[in-house]
Amino acid sequence: MDPPNISSPILKFFRHIVRRYLARHFHAVRLSSAIQFVDDGRPLIVYANHSSWWDPMISIFLAESFMPHRNHYAPMDAEALTRYGILRRVGVFPVEMKTVRGAAQLIRTGEAILRRGGVLWITPQGQFVDARCKPLIFKPGLASLATRVSDSTTSCVVLPLAIEYPFWNERLPEVLLCFGYPLEVAADETAESLQARMTDALDITMGELCNLAVRRDPGAFTTLMLGSRGVGGFYALGKRIKALAFRQPYQPEHSIRESTPMPRGGDDA
């Protein structure tokens, strides 16, 4: 199955909407600075835990921020995609959930994507699962796909991504992100071996992010985006008047002073 055709104008517009939507509904988007991810052009699969409706938007935001020069794709439940047909124009392709046929669809389309230089973003749990639920259980197909595109000339890279949406000290929640260490898939590695490594890697990455989330320290993260700040309403108006009266700078946050967000990785595709 061929990958969907991506429309550059629609993708550019969709990315703009995603940025505005995130800025409106979150206080900040933050990435753990423990690991600096580097894209070297090899076949790449980014796989993440799936705790929220927001996860696909986070993938779109990260794809634009770090790899704007590559085409990005993601699977979606075939039935749900019939209601959001426009998503096909931004790289989303249908997969039947909970069927052997669905796993085959993922492998065929995913292989075509990776061999053409695209990046695949996927939430292998296949359903919403709280970040505290263990053990991690993946739907079949992802490990088989990664081993299928790894051979003697190139190796597929599988990158774990942990996502959390905690409330800290502000009115709106934070988006907290953490990339784990990339896994290189050997040409002779079995799907069973890779599945175990992928599960362990995501579990470890989620644990690291959980520890950072509990600390509530924005200094442990790189701020990718600052969103809506302050509490709004009459309380915010009172703070503005007080700052003006005492000739002090207006500080909208309840307690956290922000650093300048990291610039995006390039222009819109």
pLDDT tens digits along 44-77: 999 999 999 999 999 999 999 999 999 999 999 9
Mean pLDDT of 251-263: 58
- What is the mean pLDDT of the segment spanning 22-39? 86
| Residue environment code for 148-164, b if the CB has 16+ CB neighbours within 10 A, otherwise e | bbbeeeebbbbbbbbbb
Assess if residue 180 is contained within a domain.
yes
Q: What residue numbers bound the domain in which 36 lies?
A: 8-245
Instruction: Kindly give the residue spans of alpha helices, DSSP state H, lying in the chain.
Output: 8-25, 55-66, 78-81, 100-115, 142-148, 191-215, 233-245
Give the whole-number percent of the chain exceeding pLDDT 70: 84
Residue 251 has pLDDT above 80, yes or no: no
Asked, for residue 185, whether it belongs to a domain, the answer is yes
Confidence at residue 239, expressed as pLDDT on a 0 to 100 scale: 47
The answer to whether residue 203 is domain-embedded is yes
224 CB-near residues (< 8 Å, 6+ apart): 28, 29, 30, 31, 61, 65, 177, 261, 262
Does residue 13 lie in a domain region? yes
**What pLDDT sits at residue 253?**
62
With respect to residue 18, please indicate whether it lies within any of the assigned structural domains. yes
Whether the per-residue pLDDT at 35 is higher than 90: the answer is no
Q: Is residue 105 part of a domain?
A: yes
Measured between alpha carbons, how far is 46 from 44 in angstroms, rounded to an integer? Answer: 7
Number of neighbouring beta carbons within 10 Å of residue 35: 15
**In-domain check, residue 171:** yes
Long-range contacts of 191-196 (CB under 8 A, 24+ apart): 191/143, 191/144, 191/146, 191/147, 192/143, 194/143, 194/146, 194/147, 194/158, 195/138, 195/142, 195/143
pLDDT exceeding 90 applies to what percent of the chain? 70
Mean pLDDT of 243-257: 58
Output the pLDDT for position 233: 46
Does residue 234 carry a pLDDT above 50? no
pLDDT(221) > 50? yes
pLDDT at site 262: 63
Give the helix/strand (H/E) hosting 176.
Answer: strand 174-179
221 burial level (CB within 10 Å; 0-12, 13-18, 19+): buried
CATH number, domain at 189?
A: 3.40.1130.10
Q: What CA–CA distance (Å, rounded) separates 209 from 212?
A: 5
Q: Taking the mean position of all CA atoms in its chain, how far away is CA 2?
A: 24
Residue 149, both tokens: 């595109």
pLDDT tier at 88 (50, 70, 90 boundaries)? very high
Non-local (6+) Cβ contacts of 3 within 8 A are 71, 73, 91, 93, 109, 112, 113, 116, 118
**Structure confidence by residue, pLDDT tens digits, 111-142:** 999 999 999 999 999 999 999 999 999 998 99
Q: What is the pTM of this model?
A: 0.86
Average pLDDT score over the chain: 88
Q: If 0-12 CB within 10 Å is exposed, 13-18 middle and 19+ buried, where does residue 112 land?
A: middle
Tell which residue, 81, 169, 161, 70, has the closest CA to residue 122: 161
Q: How does residue 269 score in pLDDT terms, banded at 50, 70 and 90?
A: very low
Looking at the predicted structure, is the pLDDT value of residue 220 above 70?
A: yes
User: Measuring CA to CA, how many Å separate 132 from each of 50, 162, 203, 210, 248?
Assistant: 11, 12, 10, 9, 43
Tell me if 177 is assigned to some domain: yes
Q: Look at the chain and report how many structural domains it folds into.
A: 1
